[in-house]
Amino acid sequence: MGAKDIVPRIARLFGRANHTGDAVPIPHAGLRSRDEIYQWIGQGIGRFKEWYQPVDFGNGVIAHQTCPPDWTPRPGLLSDIGGGMAKWNYIVRKHLPDVSRMRILDVGCSSGLFSLELARMGAREVVGIDRDSSIAHRSSRVPPPQDVIAQANFVKQAFELLEGRAYPVTYRALDVGRLQARELGRFDLILALCVVYHELDRMPKLLRTLAAMTDYLLLQANEAHGGELGNYSSVRYHLRVLKEVGFRTVEVDAPVDYLLPVIVAKK
């Protein structure tokens, strides 16, 4: 089958890219060659308006971060240590314990880049939670309503097709502001990178809930925000609440000139 034949076939599979980001599963059955898979991925990227994490699928196919107000892709941000795999490699990865056989929760998993990485590192099970289009981002109206969980499932399907393996990763659309401690069970490790402070005055309740679900929490604060959000996103506020909810050992990695410090909290 040549490229000429593939394009109409892919178009039939997808319909037009329309930025709906809805939860309709994107069919991929029958894709065989890498060319077909990459064409499928390229089409799928266009279904989602918001790409917070830039995702490099290889072969030059990249979902670049999109930013308000126009949500056009920003190629320059792929290597920015403020997000995505560049951030992971710069400041997150080195703070992880040996994750093999761990059950891990990724709170605010976004497109699921880090959930997949944890699975690649040997985690037994990873659960990622984020918004669907009915769940609001409390601190800001900037992210458009979007089914982020559909996006994470699309990214997972893409890498599973490319790598010819299945990952023990599941995603759930759950409002972190309404998370119940017993809803998902206990975890060996919880990651909540750049997310808990978006709940503003509900942040202590969310951290108390996470504390009931794990003894080991990896958080990322944000010293770049100002105003009310800046108060909640500061390391100072994180440390105060983490002590209150029962974490006895709390370490901070705050490199000079880097505004997203990582906090490792253990009971």
Binding site for ligand SAM (CB under 6 A): 52-53, 83, 108, 110, 130-131, 135, 137-138, 148, 175-177, 193-195, 198
Closer residue to ligand SAM, CB minimum distance, 36 or 106: 106
Q: Least distance (Å) from ligand SAM to the CB of residue 111?
A: 8
Tell me the C-alpha distance between 258 and 123, whole Å: 29
Shortest distance, position 194 Cβ to ligand SAM, whole Å? 4
- Please name the residue ranges forming H helices in 182-245: 203-211, 227-233, 235-244
Terminal-to-terminal C-alpha distance of the chain: 58
* CB 129 to ligand SAM: min, Å: 6
In the bound state with ligand SAM, the residue whose beta carbon lies nearer, of 44 and 84, is 84
Bridge partners, 125 (sequence order): 103
| Residue (193 or 211) nearer to ligand SAM, CB | 193
Residue type for position 187: F
Q: Which is nearer to ligand SAM, 41 or 176 (CB)?
A: 176
Residue 58 falls in which region: left (phi positive, over 0), alpha (psi -120 to 50) or beta: left
Closest contact distance (angstroms) between CB of 97 and ligand SAM is 18
**Shortest CA distance to 240 belongs to which of 214, 265, 218, 261?**
265
